[in-house]
Chains A and B, each alone.
Chain A
């Protein structure tokens, strides 16, 4: 299995921000964190839910699911709830959770520990990314600094693969089984770890919860409908990887380079948009949904080369990252990668669409659906370039040089 087409970056440039990333210069220690935010007190569940309803906090792992809905589900189930901090961000090009671990780990842990207190949970499971040693070390150091009353921090290390961070794969890891996705018959907030209600969210989500509990609602940040901020990993040609905190409602154009570089939004499971489209977009969950794309895991990747060639490489990589457990994914993703590569040799786009339909929603996790999203977004955003490849050309290379471009890029 080959590595990701974009190397993992655990050491991005972390820009000072307006909320989560305010005061990153103070360092990641518990002492600096407490000096900045004061000693927290455990919230009452009702007050926490009201706060979350007010700001409409959505999960930042990719699905943008309303956090309060999950919390409410976990709180109303019988059994003792379990809290999980998921740092095993599968998206190799995303660096925001690594940035949080290395600059504001106690914001993440406060969010989870205080929510655990409100829920009556006794354990917070912290799932670390096996392919990010600096992130692991940063979180371990932060965990060792804490003496949380009534809540025990339990450490896990996820396997270094794309699908290891999927919610059900994380629960499998916590149960001591292979760190691979299984079928979810019920939401994990209803029945998760050891059949207890389980509140599993990614690191950025927990950092927002922590920030809310420590400072109150984000006044003056974002819009009335979408208050607050979100973290983005910004990767531009020739520039260092950056993690930036941006307000909802702000223009995506402010982050983009000049010119017509194609933009991949969200992650490898994300969507291609043309530079022209990208410049009209606003940082907003419903706004991007209406435009047929999504912030996903918060990646903004502008590339210098052909988006068709990129999609060929990404799809081949994603096919190799299938856990191989679900038939349509195990068979369909390699076939899909073949079909997209075959476009260069006159293969049919119809076959790409047919295979996309055959793998979508036919697996235990979001991997097939995310891969299909990427592929379909290429066909939607760059239909002319796809046709050009079919005719043996590429707008990003000399005519008749498609195959050479592809082999040079891989």
Chain B
């Protein structure tokens, strides 16, 4: 299984920060609280990444 990429729908994102809590391996928050996606979602992180996509209060994340 190959790696996936987490993409942010920037106009939708409101810096709630849940993604960084659920997927700290890939997502950090910048100084304003918006996600900085660093690196790909490797297969071992796919479950957590899907959870982050599902739980985002703004539905602003996608796995592509």
Q: Which residues of A contact B31 (CB under 8 A)?
A: 358
Contact of B18 with A by CB under 8 A: no
Q: Residues 296-320 of chain A: 1 if any B CB is under 8 Å from the residue's CB, otherwise 0? A: 0000000000000000000000000
* Nearest CB in chain A: distance from B17 CB, A: 11
Q: Closest residue of chain B to A354, judged by CB?
A: B31
CA distance in complex: A362, B33 (Å): 13
**Contact status A181-B34, CB under 8 Å:** no
From A185, A362, A364, residue with most partner B Cβ within 10 Å:
A362
Q: Closest residue of chain A to B62, judged by CB?
A: A185
Contact of B21 with A by CB under 8 A: no
Q: Which residues of B contact A363 (CB under 8 A)?
A: 10
Q: How many residues of A contact B (CB 8 A)?
A: 16
CA distance in complex: A182, B60 (Å): 12
Pick the contact of B34 from A183, A185, A362 — CB < 8 Å? A362
Contact of A327 with B by CB under 8 A: yes
Q: Closest residue of chain A to B37, judged by CB?
A: A362
Contact of A286 with B by CB under 8 A: no
CA distance in complex: A363, B11 (Å): 8
**Contact status A326-B11, CB under 8 Å:** yes
**Contact status B13-A327, CB under 8 Å:** yes
Q: Closest residue of chain A to B10, judged by CB?
A: A326
Q: Residues 42-62 of chain B: 1 if any A CB is under 8 Å from the residue's CB, otherwise 0? A: 000000000000000000001
CA distance in complex: A162, B7 (Å): 25
Contact of B40 with A by CB under 8 A: no
Q: Which residues of A contact B13 (CB under 8 A)?
A: 326-327
Q: Closest residue of chain B to A182, judged by CB?
A: B11
Contact of A146 with B by CB under 8 A: no
Q: Which residues of B contact A183 (CB under 8 A)?
A: 9-12
CA distance in complex: A182, B8 (Å): 11
A153-191 at interface with B (beta carbon < 8 Å) = 180-183, 185
Contact of A331 with B by CB under 8 A: yes
Q: Which residues of B contact A362 (CB under 8 A)?
A: 8, 10, 34, 36
Contact of A276 with B by CB under 8 A: no
A340-388 at interface with B (beta carbon < 8 Å) = 358, 362-364
* Nearest CB in chain A: distance from B32 CB, A: 4
CA distance in complex: A171, B34 (Å): 26
Instruction: Using A183-B11, A362-B10 as known contacts, list a sample of 13 further A-B pairs with CB atoms less than 8 Å apart, ordered by residue number in A.
Output: A185-B7, A185-B64, A327-B32, A327-B34, A328-B30, A328-B32, A328-B34, A331-B34, A358-B30, A358-B31, A362-B36, A363-B10, A364-B10
Interface residues of A (CB under 8 A from B): 180-183, 185, 325-329, 331-332, 358, 362-364
Pairs A–B under 8 Å by Cβ, sample size 9 = A182-B11, A183-B9, A183-B10, A183-B11, A185-B7, A325-B11, A326-B11, A358-B30, A362-B36
